[in-house]
Structure 1
């Protein structure tokens, strides 16, 4: 049962990666070109959109890789190790990076949203909030796991 649940989560991680890759290939370029068409007098508009969106894809994939590693540690029964703590710390840093990129790009998206109907200005806020929730959750898990490792090492020393 334990391997089935981690297998399901591994498949979910892979599917999230494939879906994000499809979005990066098909929609980001169209959205960047659309932003460039909205403001033809601002030549670098589409490149700013590309920097924010493709730039956030890099830490996203790195976090997915670390999540996959974390699931592998669970399968190998080495979940209570420093490698798991390091993976959670990396996931936390990646989520903060994604939030930071979209927070920096928020004025850009607001600028684009002013010209279109319906406005898409809320989407970056949702991404920022979701990434921050993931970062806080990873930080809490990291702290709990580190405390469990410390308690385990103390118990191993007292016996």
Structure 2
């Protein structure tokens, strides 16, 4: 049963990479073109926006890889190990990095909302940074709980 549940989660982790890959291939170049139309005075804005979105994809895929490794540790009965704590720490840092990079693009969402007269666009721009920070906090809490569980386990192993 445990192998089947981790298999489902491994498949889910792999499938989570495809939408972001599609966004990087199809949507990011369009966002760069839109940003150059919004700010024609700033020549490099198209490349800056594209670079920020592509740069945020790197920690995303790295976090997915760490989640996959964490599921492998669970399969090997090494869930309560320092390797799991390190994987959670890396996931936390990746989520913070993604959030920080997407906060850099928020002024572009503001400009688009001003031109289109749609203030809800700003809230759309806040979805990714907010979700990333929630993931970072969740990973930090899990990391702390796992570290405490490992400490308790090692104390119990010493008393026996």
TM-score under structure 2 length normalisation:
0.93
Aligned partner of residue 97 in structure 2, secondary structure: helix
CA offsets 1:35-82 (integer angstroms, 9 cap, x no match): 112322221221221122111111111101000000110111100000
User: Aligned residue for 2:81?
Assistant: 81
How far 1:117 sits from its partner (Å)? 5.8
CA distance in 1 between partners of 2:74 and 2:13 (Å): 15
CA distance in 1 between partners of 2:10 and 2:111 (Å): 38
Alignment map for 1:136-151 (pairs within 5 Å) = 136-151=137-152
Q: 1:117 to 1:54 in 2, by over 3 A?
A: farther
Alignment map for 1:87-106 (pairs within 5 Å) = 87-106=87-106
How far 1:94 sits from its partner (Å)? 0.5
Alignment map for 1:3-152 (pairs within 5 Å) = 3-116=3-116, 118=118, 120-152=121-153
Unmatched segments (≥5 aa) in structure 2? none
Larger CA deviation: 116-125 vs 21-30 = 116-125
Runs of 4+ in 1 over 4 A off after TM superposition: none
Larger CA deviation: 143-152 vs 121-130 = 121-130
CA distance in 1 between partners of 2:40 and 2:72 (Å): 48
CA distance in 1 between partners of 2:81 and 2:115 (Å): 51
**CA-atom RMSD in angstroms:** 1.4
CA offsets 1:68-102 (integer angstroms, 9 cap, x no match): 00011011110000000000000000101111111
Contact 2:35–2:108 under 8 Å retained in 1: no
TM-score under structure 1 length normalisation:
0.94
